[in-house]
Homo-oligomer: A and B are copies of this chain.
Amino acid sequence: MKFEVTILGSSSATPIYNRNPTSQVLNINERLYLVDCGEGTQQQMLRFDVRASRIDHIFISHLHGDHYLGLVGLLSSLHLNGRKKTLKLFGPPQLKEIIDLQFKYSETTLQYEIEFIETDPNKARTIVSNEDVTIETIPLDHRIPCTGFLFREKKRLRKLLKDKLERIGVPVEYFTALKKGADYTNPEGKVYKNDTLTTDSDAPKAYAYCSDTLYSDQYFDQINNVDLLYHEATFLNNMLDRAKETHHTTALQAGEIALKVNAKKLLIGHFSARYKSLDELLEEAQSVFPETGLAIEGKTFTV
């Protein structure tokens, strides 16, 4: 099952050095989930061949502009490009007021429905549960109400022994049932037990998106053992005071968090405009957590 994240924006506060404000798109079993939507996100999708029409879920962490100012433009473009499918939008309650006001004055009546689901910055809650994943909010500690998002795969499907299926001549239309654990009975009535045709599935994966937040252990339990942790790392640790003051995290702290929660890999992002080069931020996080990468525009990471 595909479970990957593509970075559309990695900048904090202002766009700079070809870095765009925060946005990411997850592909989980060919469904796209958009996480945050800074100004220019729709342009980034065009640039990196992400088909916006395939997105059915959008998650907004909080109402600082660098995390949502591209949303009204995107919603409007979906409308103009003929979308009819309902879109689920998750975010702080005030987001709806902001969107409604802008569509009121532009006299826009969307051709599709937006199902708006309020997030609660004080409580972890499961906000999506479909056949592929559950998605929970992660209460974070920022200057204004803010939640991260935790994506957990449900049980993965069993893996087909393709060679064997071919030898026996199992028709392709049975494959989905086999992946889900069914036995196969051939036209002559012979039964093949599932475990002779498939092997155990991989363990389900988890991805945590934590932006923006003060270093705070309130969410560590929730993200324990994730396979991939995206964590903001706005500053180097020599700016720890500034990080605390603005309720952000340093690269060193992001590394420490990844270590503490036993993440398999760490991605850092939300870089301050003061860093033209990101090398030092990466090195600082890697000094405590070697399996760290940079959340750079256009890059795709497998969870």
Contact = CB atoms under 8 A, between A and B. Distances in A.
Chain multiplicity (copies): 2
Interface string A72-95: 110011001100000000001010
Interface string A129-163: 00000000000000110000000000000000000
Contacts of A64: 106
Interface stretch (A37-45, A178-186, A195-203, A220-228): A37-45
A42 B39 contact: yes
Contacts of A73: 15, 21, 39, 65-66, 69
Contacts of A76: 13-14, 65
Interface string A33-52: 00000011011001000000
Nearest to A45: B15
Interface stretch (A97-105, A257-265, A279-287): A97-105
Contacts of A105: 63, 92, 94, 98, 144
Nearest to A145: B105
A6 interface: no
Contacts of A108: 65
B102 A65 contact: yes
B46 A16 contact: yes
A173 interface: no
A20 interface: yes
A81 B273 CA distance: 10
Given A39-B39, A39-B42, A94-B105, A13 B144 contact: no
A98 B103 CA distance: 11
**Which of A66, A94, A105 has most chain B Cβ within 10 Å?**
A105
Contacts of A269: none
A188 interface: no
Nearest to A76: B65
A39 B94 CA distance: 21
B106 A65 contact: yes
A70 interface: yes
Given A106-B63, A106-B64, A70 B39 contact: yes
27 contacts: A13-B76, A13-B77, A13-B80, A14-B42, A15-B42, A15-B46, A15-B77, A20-B43, A21-B73, A39-B39, A39-B40, A39-B70, A39-B73, A40-B43, A63-B102, A63-B105, A63-B106, A64-B106, A65-B102, A65-B108, A69-B69, A97-B101, A98-B101, A98-B102, A105-B144, A106-B144, A107-B143
- Give 9 nearest A-B pairs by CB, closest first: A39-B73, A14-B77, A63-B105, A40-B40, A94-B105, A69-B73, A15-B43, A65-B76, A64-B106
Interface of A: 13-16, 20-21, 39-40, 42-43, 46, 63-66, 69-70, 72-73, 76-77, 80-81, 92, 94, 97-98, 101-102, 105-108, 143-144
